[in-house]
Every structure is written in C-alpha cells, then in structure tokens.
C-alpha cells in the first residue's frame, strides 16, 4: 500500500477541497509528486504537516466557506419568524436576515462576538469569540 494519497483523499483528510490543494500546490504551500499517469499525489507526512500547521486555513466545522468575518453583533431586530442581524467586522458591516429560531438558538444579542460567513450570495451567522 502506497504512503501517498490521491489529491481527493488528501483533501478529505484535511477538510478542504481538491481545488484548494491545487492552489496550495501552485503557490508552493503544498508539496506533491506526480504518479505515472501524471496525477498529483500527497504524502501522508505532508497531510500531517498541514493538519497541524498553526497557519492552516480554518473554515469552521462542516463549512466549506472561506469568507469568514469575525466581529461583534451591533443589533438584532426580530419581527415575526425572521430577524435582521447586523455585525461589525473590522471595516465591514454585514447584515444578515436569518430566522428567529436561529437567533434564539445562537443566543444572539448586541455586543456579543459572532462570525458572519459569506457563501455565494448568502450570509450565515455563527456565535463565537472575536479572534
């Protein structure tokens, strides 16, 4: 059994996409080899190095989104089943419309730390500490 992983298996082990590993390879952040069919291979040692690297890109549990904005909740306006949450994240002010249930589950209130995660045209909100 080979000590090298396919790009897909390495991506799965690291919790990132194969495209992310291709970008890391192109930038020199990841060391790969090529097999006889010119497919990228990643050593288990390289996967271990990346999985313990302190500067490894963290996307959050179960999320593939890279655009995360940690900040502070400025306001929470609940009206019926929906709510508007405004977060100040550095120079950015992000507004998200989420369900009242989500506000209740997260316990969102003005002044608390939270992270807005932008995926495509949607903004998701997660309760968490300001980095």
- Domain covering 4-52, topology: Multidrug-efflux Transporter Regulator; Chain: A; Domain 2 (1.10.1660)
What are 79-102's pLDDT values in tens digits? 999 999 999 998 889 999 999 988
Give me the pLDDT at residue 52, please: 75
- Given a cut of 70, whether residue 68 has pLDDT beyond it is yes
Parse the chain into domains and list their residue ranges: 4-52, 67-127
pLDDT at 57: 47
Cα(113)–Cα(130) distance, integer angstroms: 5
Going by CATH, does the domain composed of 67-127 fall within 1.10.3720.10? no
Whole-angstrom CA distances from 68 to 17, 35, 58, 126 are: 17, 36, 10, 10
Highest mean pLDDT among 1-10, 66-75, 82-91: 82-91
Q: Using alpha carbons, list the distances in angstroms from residue 78 to 5, 83, 87, 90.
A: 49, 4, 15, 24
Tokens of 34: 């090529």
Beta bridge partners of 84: 77, 97
The per-residue pLDDT for 110 is 95
């Amino acid at each position: 059994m080979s000590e090298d992983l396919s790009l897909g298996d390495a991506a799965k082990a690291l919790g990132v996409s194969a495209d992310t590993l291709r970008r890391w390879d192109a930038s020199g952040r990841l060391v790969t080899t090529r097999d006889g069919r010119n497919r990228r291979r990643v050593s288990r040692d390289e996967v271990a190095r990346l999985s313990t690297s302190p500067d490894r890109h963290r996307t959050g549990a179960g999320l593939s989104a890279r655009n995360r904005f940690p900040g502070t909740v400025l306001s929470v306006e609940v009206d019926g089943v929906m709510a508007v949450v405004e977060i100040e994240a550095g120079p950015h002010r992000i507004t998200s419309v989420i369900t009242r249930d989500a506000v209740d589950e997260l316990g969102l209130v003005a002044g608390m730390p939270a992270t807005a995660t932008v995926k495509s045209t949607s903004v998701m909100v997660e309760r968490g500490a300001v980095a």
